A = this chain, B = another copy of it.
Amino acid sequence: MSGAPYISVVGSGRASGELYELAREVGRLVAGRGAVVVCGGLGGVMEAAARGAREAGGVAIGVLPGEDRRGANRYLTYAVATGAGQARNLAVVCSGDAVIAVGGEYGTLSEIGLARKVGRPVVVLRGWELGPHVAVAATPREAVERAFGMIGAL
């Protein structure tokens, strides 16, 4: 394997225009720095992050909840099907060296909690404010810079 960092981008499967564009920009910036984008593989923020990654010439890997690759968004480079339902959220965050959460519904909250539980740094963009151990960023650029900074890959 190459030594490229992996950054998990998490967020709702339903994303409004602005949130979608923020996630897409996060994907672009992460891939532009040479990192692999990991996401939950479905729509909304997951799709936007994958789309951004591909637009920047990068790689997006989706980690799906179902028993096959159906439902995978079309921007993924590769997809893995876990068959484990919402337990796949753990796989999404374990696969990244850091996690960027864009917006946030409850699935996202679970991913932030799991990420911190397994020791991953987390940056939130337009979402949950969860105290000193979960960084908050105002822009995609700040989110990505903080995430790379926290894994020593600036």
List the interface of chain A (C-beta within 8 A of B).
1, 6, 36, 38, 59, 61, 63, 66-69, 72, 74-91, 93-95, 105-118, 128, 130, 133
Contact = CB atoms under 8 A, between A and B. Distances in A.
Contacts of A84: 82, 84-85, 87, 90-91
Contact of A130 (B66, B90, B118, B128): B128
B117 A86 contact: yes
A133 B73 CA distance: 29
16 contacts: A1-B78, A6-B69, A36-B78, A67-B94, A80-B95, A81-B94, A83-B86, A83-B87, A84-B87, A85-B90, A87-B87, A108-B113, A109-B116, A110-B111, A111-B113, A113-B113
